[in-house]
Structure 1
Amino acid sequence: MTTKWIATPKRTKEILDAHGFSFKKSLGQNFIIDANILNNIIQKAGIDKQTGAVEIGPGIGALTEQLAVHADKVTAYEIDQRLLSILKETLTPYDNIQIIHQDILEADVSDMVKSCFKPGQPIHLVANLPYYITTPILMKLLHDDLPVTSFTVMIQKEVAERMAAGPNSKRYGSLSIAVQYYTRAEVIMNVPKRVFMPPPNVDSSVLKLTRRESPPVQVIDEDFFFDIVQACFAQRRKTLRNNLIRHFKASADNQTISDGLKQARIDEKRRAESLTMEEFAFLANTFYRIIETGT
């Protein structure tokens, strides 16, 4: 590894000083200054010259540069206008990078993938996401059903653990179910604070989400399913029955809730964290029939 890479403390500081750049806390800017970490992420993401890469928040181009070296083409979304001229300079040696100045939450990523990459080309999203907005970004990307094979993202360690958590653990919740409905989730590495400039206040992990061809459970209505899951976790210490009574107070009486749980063959005294996704699906389908169709 040579010292030419952007992702070194010295080079990063030189770039920032040359442009008089100051970090914006509101944008969650923490730049990676270790190229070995980036290469490890890229390897685990499955990036090679046959694949396309999408990045969110390239900053001064540290990860973008490594993606350009390993991928066929890279498209990166950057919201901070101040970084555009820096990226144009730092990424000059590479002709396979496209920078889009847009908020990822407002972007039509699916349309971009279709227009910017080769038909049928495997596409991987790789990003060091702003920690304050990780969940909205990932949930938008998952709901949009993008033609993307996997998402490999650096995020807050606690959030990564929640997204990958299984039943009967304190991290397991509605977010775990939502993410794992669309993907297979795995925490692939933890990353120390010292590889960032400036160091974040929280610990970081890299989470890999591999898109499922189809959800692992069949539900009658997806929105209803996710509503039921959220309702069951609304107050973690309460039983399923109590949480569902609260959720359905306008449309079902207490006895209907008890009967529904019995019909779903789930003990009403259980708590949400003990249910598998399959049990949540059966529960949601049972209550959909009872509440929505009256059967």
Structure 2
Amino acid sequence: MGEFSMSLLGPVEIRNLADRLDLRPTKKFGQNFVIDGGTVRRIVRVADLAPDDVVIEVGPGLGSLTLALLPEVRQVVAVEIDPVLAGQLPLTVADKAPSLASRLSVVGADALRIGPGDLAGQQPTALVANLPYNVSVPVVLHLLEVLPTLRKGLVMVQSEVADRLAAGPGSKVYGVPSVKAAWYASVRRAGPVGRSVFWPVPNVDSGLVAFSRREPPSTTASREEVFAVIDAAFAQRRKTLRAALGSWAGSPALAERALRAAGVDPSARGEQLDILAFTRIAEHKLVE
């Protein structure tokens, strides 16, 4: 932890803090708080952060991960939808790590609705978060879309969601989240997380997902055009692409023309294609 000495929040402190705030973790906000110091240190280590990184943390909760992040980076922008938690976080940091309090910005907002202008003048370079499970995929995709400065990330999500985000073509869990995430970044599983590190203990396993942004795979088809192909292909995932893309292209015959021009077998299904293939299909519709 370098020049800074500080203590992380332990299980007793977290429960005492929650009692003092009369806080009952809610399913509405997908709240499960990390109570294990080793887990937050591991997240920070695996996130591979640099001293000049600006981290956006979504759903900081009571501040376990926030306290572990602050010594390692230039700034942490914590986005918290719960007003009680958003109000408490600066107080916790001032108490536990007063020398680092200036590195924290708290934004009381819904992460699904924020844009670059909502982040206290900061331009995040990394997303590191224990994401609320009920919005984890939309949050990751939204932030990659609206924050072009975001270069990398490590998020803790439900294990099945981690599998979906990191899945490749042909996998049973490969679907819309997998392909859309691949438009923005290379994505990989970065390890499992046990249930006992949370309070309350969830009834699902968790996993870490790491991503690294790369250039979009197309310069001629827009993200919206490529995502329209992806949505159409997986809306009827049991159908062949010729049939599934019929309404998108104007007719099954036009879909077949676009598919053949893109070098894709019209009898294939969406789960067999990678992001490059979906991009080529979108590009060849433009040629029509």
Same fold (TM over 0.5): yes
- 1:281 corresponds to which residue? 279
| Structure 1 residue 61: Cα displacement | 0.7
Gaps of 5+ in 2: none
Matched residues in 2 for 1:62 and 1:235: separation? 42
Which string of whole-angstrom CA distances, capped at 9 and with x for unpartnered residues, describes residues 163-220 of structure 1?
Answer: 11111111212221111111111111111111100112222111111111x1134442
**What secondary structure, in the 3-state scheme, does the structure 1 residue paired with 2:129 have?**
strand
Counterparts of 1:71-150 in structure 2 under 5 Å? 71-92=73-94, 93-94=97-98, 95=101, 96-109=103-116, 112=119, 115-116=121-122, 123-150=125-152
Matched residues in 1 for 2:145 and 2:87: separation? 32
- 1:269 corresponds to which residue? 267
- 1:66 corresponds to which residue? 68
- 2:227 corresponds to which residue? 226
Which string of whole-angstrom CA distances, capped at 9 and with x for unpartnered residues, describes residues 215-241 of structure 1?
Answer: 134442332211112111222221111
Residues 115, 147 of structure 2: 8 Å contact kept: no
Structure 1 residues 197 and 235: CA distance shift in structure 2, 3 A:
same
The partner residue of 2:27 within 9, 25, 34 is: 25
**What secondary structure, in the 3-state scheme, does the structure 2 residue paired with 1:137 have?**
helix
Residues 219, 225 of structure 1: 8 Å contact kept: no
Residues 116, 147 of structure 2: 8 Å contact kept: no
Matched residues in 2 for 1:243 and 1:175: separation? 18
One-letter amino acid of the structure 1 residue matched with residue 111 of structure 2:
I
- 1:183 corresponds to which residue? 185
Structure 1 residues 275 and 116: CA distance shift in structure 2, 3 A:
closer
| Structure 1 residue 246: Cα displacement | 4.4
**What secondary structure, in the 3-state scheme, does the structure 1 residue paired with 2:212 have?**
strand
Residues 190, 208 of structure 2: 8 Å contact kept: yes
| Structure 1 residue 110: Cα displacement | 5.5
Counterparts of 1:228-267 in structure 2 under 5 Å? 228-248=229-249, 251-252=250-251, 254-267=252-265
Matched residues in 1 for 2:118 and 2:84: separation? 26
**What secondary structure, in the 3-state scheme, does the structure 1 residue paired with 2:267 have?**
coil
Structure 1 residues 151 and 287: CA distance shift in structure 2, 3 A:
same
| Structure 1 residue 112: Cα displacement | 2.9
**What secondary structure, in the 3-state scheme, does the structure 1 residue paired with 2:235 have?**
coil
Return the index of the structure with the highest Cα Rg: 1
**What secondary structure, in the 3-state scheme, does the structure 1 residue paired with 2:156 have?**
strand
Structure 1 residues 105 and 265: CA distance shift in structure 2, 3 A:
closer
Q: Does 1:49 align with 2:51?
A: yes
Residues 224, 288 of structure 1: 8 Å contact kept: no
Aligned residues: 280
The partner residue of 1:5 within 4, 8, 14 is: 8
Residues 65, 91 of structure 1: 8 Å contact kept: yes
**What secondary structure, in the 3-state scheme, does the structure 2 residue paired with 1:106 have?**
coil
Residues 48, 70 of structure 1: 8 Å contact kept: yes
Which string of whole-angstrom CA distances, capped at 9 and with x for unpartnered residues, describes residues 91-135 of structure 1?
Answer: 11332222222222232335637x246xxxx83221111111112
Matched residues in 1 for 2:6 and 2:126: separation? 27
- Tell me whether 237-246 or 182-191 shows the greater mean CA deviation: 237-246
Matched residues in 2 for 1:246 and 1:208: separation? 35
Percent identity, please: 33
Matched residues in 2 for 1:112 and 1:179: separation? 23
Structure 1 residues 274 and 11: CA distance shift in structure 2, 3 A:
same
Residues 110, 147 of structure 1: 8 Å contact kept: no
**What secondary structure, in the 3-state scheme, does the structure 2 residue paired with 1:75 have?**
strand
Matched residues in 1 for 2:235 and 2:216: separation? 23
One-letter amino acid of the structure 2 residue matched with residue 167 of structure 1:
P
Structure 1 residues 64 and 283: CA distance shift in structure 2, 3 A:
same
| Structure 1 residue 146: Cα displacement | 2.8
| Structure 1 residue 262: Cα displacement | 2.9
One-letter amino acid of the structure 1 residue matched with residue 284 of structure 2:
T
Gaps of 5+ in 1: 291-295
- Tell me whether 80-89 or 66-75 shows the greater mean CA deviation: 80-89
Structure 1 residues 38 and 116: CA distance shift in structure 2, 3 A:
same
Structure 1 residues 23 and 287: CA distance shift in structure 2, 3 A:
same
Structure 1 residues 261 and 69: CA distance shift in structure 2, 3 A:
closer
Structure 1 residues 85 and 145: CA distance shift in structure 2, 3 A:
closer
